[in-house]
Amino acid sequence: MPVYLTLEGGKVLEVHGFGSGRPSSGPHTVKFEDEGVLAIYSKGLLGWKKIYWSSFGKLEFFVGTVGVQTGGGWVGGGFGVGDAVKGALTASILNALTTKNREYAVLTVVDNDLATGAQKHFCMGFQGIDEATLRRKLAEVIPAWTEPVCVQLESVFSQCRDKADALEAIELVTGCLERGILSEEQAERILAVPKKLVPEAFATATPQITSPSRVEQLKTLSDLRASGALSEEEFQAEKRLILAGQ
């Protein structure tokens, strides 16, 4: 099984939304595996065990640096791959650290339930890599990691003949664009046929996603939903207005 990137020696800093069970205190490994799958492994008394996996379509990644001082204070910031601050979530994670005088490159994996809007997050710190290197590695790996699935989606959506299916495809792909998982080039290929079926929907959604102002608005909106300031219904309503240019 091809592995596009392996991050070893991860220390669990914070988890949310995975039930009452907390991962072991032992080392963790993150692997970007074949078919766009992200997997997290934990080492316990009985060896390595896969404790989480998900396809890329509902994931979002944030990278930062945290320096922990005596008493658990922190300095630094938590920034997404696209340089968007993950405010409330990042602050909560960073303040949870207690190790003294250590610096971590922090990777936060956010798992978005596309049906309900609920989120899970898994945050790990790595001492063997700095933030800039981690960010660069992700930027290099993600396009190659998602490409096999993009090829499959391109084939599936090339058979699209129904407007409802085309709109579903556009929603799926623009969601991945918002989260920085797909590139513009990949999106253009996947949506070549849906664009012809519903050009009016594609025209209002995709070009605006490429605009920095639209991206910033969508990121801010996502942060508000993550913090609980917006319900899923409110989030979707505001998102439609942004995509419509209102």
Chain centroid, CA 7 distance in Å: 16
Question: How far is Cα 119 from Cα 241, in angstroms, rounded to an integer?
Answer: 23
Mean pLDDT of the chain: 78
Q: What is the share, in percent, of the chain residues with pLDDT greater than 90?
A: 27
Closest CA to 30 of 103, 104, 138, 113: 138
| 236 HSE (CA, 13 A, CB side) | 9
Please tell me which residue, 222 or 119, carries the higher pLDDT value. 119
| Residue 18 DSSP symbol | S
Give me the DSSP letters along 151-207.
Answer: HHHHHHHTT---HHHHHHHHHHHHHHHHTT-S-HHHHHHHTHHHHHH-HHHHHHHHH
Higher-confidence residue of 6 and 98: namely: 6
Confidence at residue 98, expressed as pLDDT on a 0 to 100 scale: 46
Q: What are the boundaries of each domain within the chain?
A: 3-137, 142-243
Please check the confidence at residue 40 and state whether its pLDDT lies above 60. yes
- Compute the distance between CA of residue 91 and CA of residue 84 in angstroms, rounded to an integer: 14
